[in-house]
């Protein structure tokens, strides 16, 4: 588990499925433009499949996905993780999302800082990359608030649904 002043990051467990579904359904208006899987059709089966894939990722050390939980109330706030780990060149992707009712409360930037600390101490990486679609200002602001350096815009860097879009490439490097 990883801790910040207000949030706990912990691996997903199957019991998180109902809270994950509720968070996705609540947040479809703000998540779906940037995360096409976050639809009004997101189901308990989808949640359980995601959690199983997260458990497999932990088991084979290919990704480390965390639930973000409010430290005081235990409310499921969102998700974050480290994935696309490149052991040869020592970098990986860092991603995050926060449910709509908890946005603008510091959860994303706290998660970014906690994941960076975890990556520096537990993974042999020197660089974390945060890729944010152009127009996703909330995510971009969270990354900047957490200290990520904006390296510029990569053309057609990510696919959202059937469309390739430009994205900000941000990074954090091991101190």
- Architecture of the structural domain at 2-130: 3-Layer(aba) Sandwich (3.40)
DSSP-assigned states of every residue in 80-93:
EEEEEEETTTTEEE
Per-residue pLDDT, 2: 61
Per-residue pLDDT, 61: 94
The percentage of the chain sitting over the pLDDT mark of 70, rounded to a whole number, equals 98
Q: How far apart are CA 24 and CA 78, in angstroms?
A: 9
pLDDT in tens, 50-73: 999 999 999 999 999 999 999 999
Alpha helices in 34-157 (DSSP H): 44-60, 107-122, 137-145
pLDDT in tens, 20-40: 999 999 999 999 999 999 999
Strands 127-133, 91-98: pairing is: parallel
Residue corresponding to tokens 């537990």: 122
Domain boundaries, the chain: 2-130
Residue 131, C-beta contacts closer than 8 angstroms, at least 6 positions apart: 93, 154, 157, 158, 167, 168, 169, 170
pLDDT in tens, 74-106: 999 999 999 999 999 999 999 999 999 999 999
């Amino acid at each position: 588990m990883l801790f910040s002043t207000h949030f706990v990051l912990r691996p997903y467990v199957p019991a998180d499925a109902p809270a994950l579904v509720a968070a996705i359904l609540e947040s479809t208006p703000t998540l779906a433009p940037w995360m096409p899987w976050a639809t009004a059709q997101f189901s308990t089966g989808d949640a359980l499949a995601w959690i199983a894939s997260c458990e497999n990722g932990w088991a084979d050390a290919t990704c480390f996905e965390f639930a973000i939980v409010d430290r005081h109330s235990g409310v499921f706030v969102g998700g974050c993780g480290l994935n696309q780990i490149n052991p040869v060149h020592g970098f990986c992707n860092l991603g995050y999302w926060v449910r709509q009712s908890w946005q603008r409360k510091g959860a994303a930037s706290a998660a970014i800082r906690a994941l960076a600390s975890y990556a520096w101490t537990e993974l042999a990486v020197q660089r974390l990359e945060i890729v944010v679609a152009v127009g996703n200002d909330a995510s971009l602001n969270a990354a900047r608030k957490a200290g990520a350096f904006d390296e510029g815009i990569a053309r057609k860097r990510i696919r959202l649904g059937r469309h390739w879009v430009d994205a900000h490439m941000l990074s954090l490097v091991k101190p």
